[in-house]
Amino acid sequence: MRRFAQLFAAIDETMRTNEKVDAMVDYFRSVDPADAAWAVWFLSGGRPKRLIPVRRLAGWAMEESDVPDWLFAECYDAVGDLAEAMALLLPDAESSADIPLHRWITERLLPLANKSEEEQRASVVQSWRELGGTERFLWNKLITGGLRVGVSQQLVVRALSRATGVDEGVIAHRLSGTWLPRAESFTALMAEETSDADVSRPYPFFLAYALEGEVDALGDATAWQAEWKWDGIRAQVIRRNGQTFIWSRGEELVTDRFPEIAAAADFLPDGTVIDGEIMPWKDGKPLAFAQLQRRIGRKSLGGAILTEVPVVLIAYDLLETAGRDIREEPLARRREMLVAVVAEARSTAFVPSPVVSMDAWDDARAAHAGARDRCAEGLMLKRRDSTYGVGRRKGGWWKWKVQPFVIDAVMIYAQAGHGRRASLHTDYTFAVWDDGVLVPFAKAYSGLTDAEIQELDRWIRANTVEKYGPVRHVKPVHVFELGFEGIQPSPRHKSGVAVRFPRILRWRTDKSPEEADTLATLRGMMT
Amino acid sequence: MTLLRLAERGLYCEAGDFYIDPWLPVERAVITHGHGDHARWGSDRYLSSREGEAVLRTRLGASATIRPVDWGDPVDVNGVRVSLHPAGHILGSAQVRVERHGEVWVASGDYKLEPDPTCTPFELVRCHTFITESTFGLPIYRWTPDREVFAAIRAWWRQNLEHGRASVIFGYALGKAQRLLAGLADADIGPVYTHGAVERLNRDYRRGGVRLAATQYASAMPRGHSFAGGLIVAPPSAAGSTWMRRFGTISTAFASGWMRVRGARRRRAVDRGFVLSDHVDWPSILTTIEGTGAERVWATHGTREPLVRWLTERGIEAKVVASQWKGEEDTDPVEVAGEEITA
């Protein structure tokens, strides 16, 4: 546990990405694979189920630290984090045996599930006596199921890759899907030989950067394939060993949510993986994203909603065929195979992504201008010779959205509005990432529905980190898609840029703050 | 009529017609210590500990009328017996003992119990009424021994040295900065540089016989001087200023009791937080109150309400007194994004 606490502290104590990666590399190289497996799981956002109600846990902490509940509440308020407040209040540790992380999990944490309340109490109190400082804080985070470590999945993958020399793409692939924190899994993760047999495992999604500047800069238009950029749910449909799996980009298994597609996938040949976009689609045309949201919101899918909002998979790409990973093949070749595979399934649930015919960039511009009319967000431009990469890479693929400038930013400050909105927090300050730090760059007031404003206002009140006069500094949690009309360099602003008419386009509840854009992207928009 | 009471200009002794750490100008001011919220400019006459005189003069200017007194030496002020006793907070920091007709009051100013090399250690003074600070008046605040904190600071510096970085540690210019420098006086540590605000007060400390690590004034270094491997001691207000640019690649740290809480460090946006406080922690506040034998306790600044409630529940007459003293604030002026940004 001590080594894991050191890793946590090292990551927590620096804003520099490289140092976070260094700390992880060092850890992965030096610890028992059983420990490393759990660390990977936690760093990737894995959470153990909460085994003890928080209230009960807090009660034990109060008794152990001899603090009445009102004082406990004051402390909690001052700290802002229950696990930390308990760790700080409890008496200093008595013993300091260093038990490895995996044993804490398997011998102490998980068995809590099958214990009586009295046994749970004895076990937890004992652990508090054994652990001090950061270790105790982390332990409390584990018990409450709230451990968060400030690294993105991409950084974990990078660190694992550096620790072993195994390619980042291979690591990412091995980690995707359901990855269990066991020593064998970690050893397999680090193994040079690829013999991954997990039939359900998707490939990491290849993502495009937003096109910045003029499309002509991409060179010869005929070297590119243009497709509509759809606003649905990016997904991979996998058919292997006679089974079907549908994974969303958030790496959730959503097979049951889209029975039309799952049924159609049964007719795909074994060893097929298609990347596409799940779109609400009726009479050969897309429906609005809001319709799809209606459907996503349902717990069970009745016949009515399936009739009202049928979905299809707009097939973008073929990643695997006849059990062979073809991501390194050029796009033009993959496209041919994709069309053939989809035709073979003979289902209306698969629609090969329409290619916009284009001889020159003017054709693309004309199509781009009309994208909204087709319910598309813009165009995707993919080099015909591009491979299917891992994560977000520059060069081969670009997304060319309709709005001149769109960016995903994190809300960091909020302030009450005026007039009708006087009691509501409606003025927001947004930030983008710059070397691990969120830099504010724009304020926006409009773009949300009244219901969203109400919801956000409640969240802001409950998640204020600090108040400076009327301004509330909130936890950097919520990501919003902002649109704006122009961007200029500005020495007066911390970010170095000033944007014109910023507004909220969408509350990206599907994105985590780590996925927000960077200042470099923002600066890159200035031409 | 109580011996001391809160008046418009500060904590007032009517019988002796003097104030303790007034926030507005008065005729007679008894000063506990030189921090800005306690030693305000503009009063006619000041009474200070001899140990604290130089710091107070740096603060108030050469023209201020300051009468220094030795520890424990009683001074008669209009029939009230006033004496100063070490508070262990910073150089010259005093508790003010006020006595009349056998009734004794003690105003603590800011204090801490653990001895450190920069000032005379805290002296426990018996009294009927104890006026205490409560900057860290919650049981989550418990300090670790200085030895461990300084070992951690050295380890951090060494790690930065290995990475070719300069180590910048922020601490209040008066008191904390010198405590850091005294704690590192014998440490095998690279060249130590200071911010001007710190260096000015170092002089007073050195004259007062406090041994500090050898320092160089950072701004006096020639252009292009490499600070890599050095340790820079600067006030928190220097963070993010253009003055910082000269240091090249840096790691930053903040030394304060507030660093006990992770969120406080993260809000400061420093790499490291070292829990080093010049104020009493929760257990020490309680020990002190018990030791004074006081029947009545006033809490003047910090997290007052929980302390008062805690004491009241234990049969001690306690109340909150709304002074304008601040102790050590978690939030000194923070840039508000709203002022920074125009669409």
Q: Is B314 at the interface with chain A, CB within 8 A? A: no
User: Which of A110-124, A312-326, A383-397 has the weakest average pLDDT?
Assistant: A383-397
User: Mapping DSSP to helix (H, G, I), strand (E, B) and coil, where does residue B258 land?
Assistant: helix
Q: Is the Cβ pair A501, B272 closer than 8 Å?
A: no
Nearest to A442 by CA among A426, A458, A454, A429: A429
Task: Delimit the domains of chain B by residue range.
Answer: 5-140+278-326, 146-274
Using alpha carbons, select from A1, A2, A21 the residue that is nearest to residue A11. Answer: A21
Q: Which of A450, A446, A437 minimizes the C-alpha distance to A503?
A: A446
The predicted structure's pLDDT at residue A448 = 87
Asked if A469 and B336 come within 8 Å (Cβ–Cβ), the reply is: yes
Q: Which residues contact A22 (CB under 8 A, 6 or more apart)?
A: none
d(CA A366, CA A359): 12
Q: Which pLDDT score is estimated for B338?
A: 25
β-sheet bridge partners, residue B288: none
Query: Residue A89: its chain B contacts at CB < 8 A?
Result: 139-140
Q: Whole-angstrom Cα distance, residue A379 to residue A395?
A: 15
Instruction: Identify which of A67, A415, A473 has the shortest CB distance to residue B139.
Output: A67
Q: Which of A209-213, A425-429, A481-485 has the highest mean pLDDT?
A: A425-429
Averaged pLDDT score across all residues of chain A: 88
CB contact under 8 A, B138 and A75: yes
pLDDT range class, residue A295, cuts 50, 70, 90: confident
Q: Is some CB atom of chain B closer than 8 A to the CB atom of A471?
A: yes
Backbone angles phi, psi at B10, to 5 degrees: 150, -165
Of A89, A498, A499, the CB nearest to B139: A89
Show the domains of chain A with their CATH numbers: 2-143 (1.10.3260.10), 206-401 (3.30.470.30), 405-524 (2.40.50.140)
pLDDT (0 to 100) of residue B330: 52
Whether A417 shows a pLDDT value over 80: the answer reads no
Topology of the domain covering B5-140+278-326? Metallo-beta-lactamase; Chain A (3.60.15)
β-pairing verdict for A272-282 and A233-240: antiparallel
Report CB contact under 8 Å: A442, B271: no
| A420 pLDDT above the threshold of 60 | no
- pLDDT tens track for A108-149: 999 999 999 999 999 999 999 999 889 999 999 999 988 888
On whether any CB of chain A is under 8 Å from the CB of B329, the answer is: no
Chain B residues with beta carbon closer than 8 angstroms to that of A471 = 336-338
Mean pLDDT of A395-416: 87
Q: Which residue of B has its CA nearest to A70?
A: B306
**From CA B341, how far away is CA A429, in angstroms rounded?**
9
Q: Do B337 and A413 touch (CB under 8 A)?
A: yes
Residue A251: pLDDT band by 50, 70, 90 thresholds? low
- Cβ of A74 within 8 Å of Cβ of B310? The answer is no
- Active-site residue, from A20, A115, A141, A229: A229
Report the predicted TM-score, pTM, of the whole model to 2 decimal places: 0.70
| pLDDT value, residue A8 | 95
- CATH classification code of B146-274: 3.40.50.10890
Of A67, A415, A498, the CB nearest to B342: A498
User: Active-site residue A229, yes or no?
Assistant: yes
Query: Comparing C-alpha atoms, which of A169, A146, A147 is closest to residue A157?
Result: A169
A500 to B138: CB separation less than 8 angstroms, yes or no? no
Partner-chain contact B343 A502, CB within 8 Å: yes
Alpha carbon distances (Å) from B37 to A502, B33, B250, B328, B329: 42, 9, 31, 10, 11
Least Cα separation, residue A514 to chain B (angstroms): 17
- B145/A contact by beta carbon, under 8 A: no
Q: Does B304 touch chain A (CB under 8 A)?
A: no
Sequence-separated contacts (24+) of B234-238 with Cβ below 8 Å: B234/B168, B234/B169, B234/B170, B234/B194, B234/B195, B234/B197, B234/B198, B235/B170, B235/B171, B235/B172, B235/B173, B235/B177, B235/B195, B235/B197, B235/B198, B236/B170, B236/B171, B236/B172, B236/B268, B236/B332, B237/B332, B238/B170, B238/B195
Q: What is the structure's pLDDT at A72?
A: 95
What is the share, in percent, of chain A residues with pLDDT greater than 90? 51
Query: In order along chain B (343 residues), what is the average pLDDT of each group of 10 residues?
Result: 92 97 96 94 96 94 95 96 98 98 96 96 98 96 95 95 95 95 90 94 95 95 94 90 87 94 80 95 97 96 92 95 77 29 23
Min Cα distance B283 → chain A (Å) is 12
* Joined tokens for residue A380: 């995707």
